[in-house]
Amino acid sequence: METLKLRKICIDTYRENVAYLHRDCPVYRSEGFQALSKIKIHKAGNGTPVIAVLNVVNDEALLARDELGLSEQAFAQLNLSPGTAVRVEHARPPASLKAVHRKIAGERLGLDEYRGITRDIRGNRYSKIEIAAFLVSCSESGMERDEVLYLARAMVETGKHLDWSEPLVVDKHCIGGIPGNRTSMLIVPIIAAHGMLIPKTSSRAITSPAGTADTMAVLAHVELSPDHLHKIVRRERACLAWGGKSQLAPVDDILISVERPLSLDSPGQMVASILSKKVAAGATHLLLDIPVGPTAKVRSRAAALRLRKLFEYTGDHMGLQLEVIITDGRQPIGRGIGPVLEARDVMQVLNNQPDAPADLREKALQLAGRILEFDPDVRGGQGYVIARDILDSGRALAKMEAIIKAQGKNPETAVPGRLQQPVLAGATGTITGIDNMQMAHIARLAGAPMDPGAGVDLHLKLGEQVEQGEPLYIIHAEFAADFRFANEAAAAASGYRIEAAGPTGEQG
Amino acid sequence: METLKLRKICIDTYRENVAYLHRDCPVYRSEGFQALSKIKIHKAGNGTPVIAVLNVVNDEALLARDELGLSEQAFAQLNLSPGTAVRVEHARPPASLKAVHRKIAGERLGLDEYRGITRDIRGNRYSKIEIAAFLVSCSESGMERDEVLYLARAMVETGKHLDWSEPLVVDKHCIGGIPGNRTSMLIVPIIAAHGMLIPKTSSRAITSPAGTADTMAVLAHVELSPDHLHKIVRRERACLAWGGKSQLAPVDDILISVERPLSLDSPGQMVASILSKKVAAGATHLLLDIPVGPTAKVRSRAAALRLRKLFEYTGDHMGLQLEVIITDGRQPIGRGIGPVLEARDVMQVLNNQPDAPADLREKALQLAGRILEFDPDVRGGQGYVIARDILDSGRALAKMEAIIKAQGKNPETAVPGRLQQPVLAGATGTITGIDNMQMAHIARLAGAPMDPGAGVDLHLKLGEQVEQGEPLYIIHAEFAADFRFANEAAAAASGYRIEAAGPTGEQG
């Protein structure tokens, strides 16, 4: 067998290993490889192999006939110098793929099978289409609740596990879907001011106009090394950081990289994803927020209850103390949608400003109250009052300022996007509907979260009266093209429903 | 919005459109693209857009910051000169993806939904992972038989349709899985010699050691233009060509490019795939061969019957006269496995040589007899005798020679691979099992079909007596590495089961 010279191809194939061979490469011809087939690459002689999907190159400027190219991630995994002699051969499908085929056939899988699947995914032995096949086979009613537990456990096992050496490590999580819902940035300082440990890491926005990490980044650095983070948490009892660089349940990140473009969002995957991350992060107690509403992720109370049971069952068997709270998800929370506008709302609440959005404050207090009751010394029903006292007294603000300082204050002063356009009510009446998805869509088109100042600032919420021609919300953007897209989308559908005193509803 | 300069990137991404943007490209930054997201590319001003999955490039030698790269297939589709100013924007998910999500949720889809899905796949608007999601959602028991019919119809509609302007256009098809099963190369000349129209196109091997097109290529050219093929069929009433370059049911080829690496093989997809191709090719009558055996694709008679019903239901509703024949799939057919060895078997039968493999001859006569009975002038039960007469009289050989001449005789004389190694019986007894999959595996390792002379030549078949140390089969290869792999695989498991006179079975 001939060897090939290793070459790095500076293409980011995003969590999929891709190998490049020239079509006239002697190895390609004699081995009978095919494009998209999987090959195994290892150092001539020995070495741990890397598995990659094959792309065929027809240009010697890109790749010589005696070279093997690897995309950035695959090159990093193989960890050899350019020019090293490597051998390639056909890769057998990963052993656990047989279990995926059984799952496709409708069978129920056991813990060891989920372990095999997560190990192979962790080892980059699955191609994107194999991951897609696994995810679809587990979607919707495809997973028994024991299987959700097995998958969650297996995902925890395939990564690092933090141990805070404390009996009470709390976390909170919202399943998402509600724009402006930045309660974590209020809850974390309240809980930490009470003295409980709450090392909160969050994601950046995937399909939404802002994740907690994006909004927190307006105020402070959020990309911190694990060591640095650990020190901050020890000192401040809390952090508000980006969780992306951790090695906690790394299989979850790989699965999400395929779920996202597929828009898959099955209950089983969601529960396994959330709980595996929390357990790996060392949480002992978790409060889960499930917003329900006609344009939320969960549309009915019945569906929310089913999801709650699944969270409870899985959490209990993973040794996590879990409380689920079903909240009002009929409209966005607060006024701002987009990092800068949301950070403004949060700081208004922390500063006890009279014009601070009341719904954001109220929801944060409700959730914080429930978390405080995880503390054995807090009497049942007293959590809310304690939370309110911490907020009203300014202790929450002081804690937030300490966290910002510890993580490193963002030196730039953030301002809402300079391009501004009000969207006006088309009729006079009562606001009876605000579409979460449409508001998120408009804010994203305006540039959020990439441009932190972009987004939507709501002037009116459900139940309020409006006169025709009065502004419903203001669109903010930084760039003209984004601004135009967002305005066009708002003109097509404002996202608001206005009902006149009479019986007819009208799209505002 | 800024424009980018179009550049062709000579990478064959195999039926998936891939676009390349430099990480520091201003458009990439301002539009908030993500790797693996889908983008829409079109000529500045106007033009039909092309949808592609985004890969991010970190090397200006590969791609400048003001360039947009397209993989070969995508570049060809956009059909613009390098350097043309193009615009990119976010691509919305194809509209039909909503139906795929409903299918994942277990719903039944209608004809219009299958039409939408096949049109979007045909238009290259699906990524590989979206196709994988669709295929998995349809797998196993996931499709009602009406849905199989809808998918088949929709696949026919999204391609060209041949019309031979004759009332009787026959075809035959085997669902595959049996090495050496080259009956088409005997049936086609027999049927054409009788005067029936049989324009047979076949695939090349995908996972097998040879497809009919590979074996026919040993004797004649098989890659013919549609016009040329049409002339040959008009003159000879038949052809034995490769079907790969036709535009018949092109969605099927795209689906297969994902099914293959996933090893998906669901009955619904198989039926829709086969019947859509046949109807698009203008067949009015079809004989389907379903081999059954412990190492065949279909393992039980019950499964074969279920599959037969599905073929019959779908075929009837597509206006195709369809006969299904369930055959003995317990072992390979004939002696040779691999293009040259199989072509030798076929020519021995056509030449009526006394040592020609009797099972290949017999099976071909059975199938040809059933096809001849599609002719209203052939009395029921007389087909076999007519077929045998055509073969014994040399008329089948003469027709095969005419077809070879018409398609263009292969000038190279093919010989079995020069490296040869017998695999010997480990025990004395009766041969009670030959593993189709292991024999195919060994032949592929030996180099088939890439090296036409490579493969396996069986000396003994089921029921025959063997002495310990006697050759079971000979491995043929062209290259030392392949030869070694094949020998190692045969040493690990010969694929033969030998039972002594006593009650114990033994792996030979």
pLDDT in tens, A115-139: 999 999 998 889 889 999 999 999 8
Collapsed DSSP state (helix, strand, coil) of residue B428: coil
Q: What is the mean pLDDT of chain A?
A: 92
Catalytic residue among B265, B355, B392, B435: B265
Burial class (CB in 10 A: 0-12, 13-18, 19+), B498: buried
Q: Which residues of B138-162 are buried (b: 16+ CB within 10 A; e: fewer)?
A: bbbebbeeebbbbbbbbbbbbbeeb
For residue A85, pLDDT over 80 is answered with yes
Specify the 3-state DSSP secondary structure of B51: strand
Chain A residues in contact with B9 by the CB 8 A cut-off are 59, 62
* Predicted local confidence at residue A485, as pLDDT: 86
Using a CB-CB cut-off of 8 Å, the residues of chain A touching B97 are 263
Strand partners, B174: B289
Q: Please check whether residue B404 is in contact with residue B393, taking contact to mean a CB–CB distance below 8 angstroms.
A: no
Which residue is associated with the tokens 């597509």? Answer: B318
Helix, strand or coil for residue B76?
Answer: helix
Choose between A178 and A35: higher pLDDT: A178
Residue B153: pLDDT band by 50, 70, 90 thresholds? very high
Q: What is the largest CA-CA distance in chain A?
A: 83
Crossing angle of the two packed helices A395-407 and A383-392, in degrees rounded to 10: 70
Q: What is the least distance, in Å, from the CA of B177 to any CA of chain A? A: 19
What is the pLDDT confidence band of residue B30, given thresholds at 50, 70 and 90? low
What does the alpha-carbon distance between residue B240 and residue B213 come to, in Å, rounded to a whole number? 7
Q: Give the pLDDT band (50/70/90) at residue A208.
A: confident
Q: Where are the alpha helices (H) located in A281-324, listed in sequence order?
A: 301-317
Check residue A36 and give its pLDDT: 65
How confident is the model at residue A244, as a pLDDT?
A: 74
From the list A10, A29, A32, the residue facing B62 with the nearest CB is A10
Strands (E), A44-166: 50-57, 67-71, 85-90
What is the arithmetic mean of pLDDT over A152-165? 93
Kindly report the nearest CA distance between residue B291 and chain A, in angstroms: 22
Tell whether omega for the bond before A82 is within 30 degrees of 0, i.e. cis.
no
CB pairs under 8 A between A and B: 143
Question: Which residues of B fall within a CB distance of 8 Å from A131?
Answer: 129
Candidates B63, B128, B129: best to mutate against A (most CBs of A within 10 A) is B129
pLDDT band at B508 (very low <50, low <70, confident <90, very high): very low
Q: Give me the amino acid identity at A92.
A: R
Q: Quick one: how far is CA A179 from the chain centroid?
A: 14
Mean pLDDT across the stretch A451-457? Answer: 96
**Token representation of residue A181:** 């819902």
Mean pLDDT (chain B) is 92
pLDDT tens string B470-506: 999 999 999 888 899 899 999 999 999 999 865 554 4
With 50 as the cut, is the pLDDT of residue B92 above it?
Answer: yes
Chain B residues lying within 8 Å of A20, measured CB to CB? 11
Beta-carbon separation of A130 and B262 below 8 A: yes
Is the CB of A132 less than 8 angstroms away from the CB of B132?
yes
List phi, psi (to 5°) of A290. -115, 100
User: Between A382 and A413, whose confidence is greater?
Assistant: A382
- pLDDT band at residue B141, thresholds of 50, 70 and 90? low
Whether the CA torsion A52, A55, A61, A67 is positive or negative: it is positive
Least confident of A223-232, B94-103, B260-269, B332-341: B260-269
Catalogue the E-assigned strands of B232-284: 238-242
Name which of A349-353, A354-358, B3-7, B42-46 the model is least confident about: B42-46
**Taking CB atoms and an 8 Å limit, are B35 and A56 in contact across chains?**
no
Are B129 and A130 in contact (CB < 8 Å)?
no
Residue B1: predicted pLDDT = 54
Helix (H) or strand (E) holding A348: helix A339-350
- Percent with pLDDT over 70 in chain A: 96
User: In the structure, what pLDDT confidence band is assigned to residue A233 with cuts at 50, 70 and 90?
Assistant: very high
Summarize the confidence of residues A158-169 as an average pLDDT.
93
Enumerate the β-bridge partners of residue A422: A474
Asked if B55 lies within 8 A of A261 by C-beta distance, the reply is no
User: Rounded to an integer, what distance in angstroms lies between the CA atom of residue A41 and that of residue A9?
Assistant: 15
Of A416-425, B28-37, B351-360, least confident by mean pLDDT is B28-37
Q: Do B58 and A12 touch (CB under 8 A)?
A: yes
Inter-chain contact B58–A101, Cβ cutoff 8 Å?
no
**CB-CB under 8 Å, B258 with A450:** no
Contacts B477 to A, Cβ<8 Å: none
pLDDT at A506: 47
Between CA B128 and CA A274 the distance in angstroms is 27
| pLDDT at A80 exceeding the cut of 50 | yes
Task: Give Cα B408 distance to the centre of its chain.
Answer: 23
pLDDT at residue B507 is higher than 60: no
Q: Which of B100, B136, B257, B483 to mutate to test the interface with A (most CBs of A within 10 A)?
A: B136
Phi first, then psi: give them for residue A323, nearest 5 degrees: -120, 135
* pLDDT for the residue numbered B91: 82
pLDDT of residue A502: 59
Q: How many CB atoms lie within 10 A of CB A47?
A: 15
* pLDDT confidence of residue A504: 52
Please, which pLDDT band fits residue A508 given cuts at 50, 70 and 90?
Answer: very low
The pLDDT confidence band at residue B140, using thresholds 50, 70 and 90, is low
What is the set of active-site residues of A?
Answer: 265
| For residue A174, pLDDT beyond 50 | yes
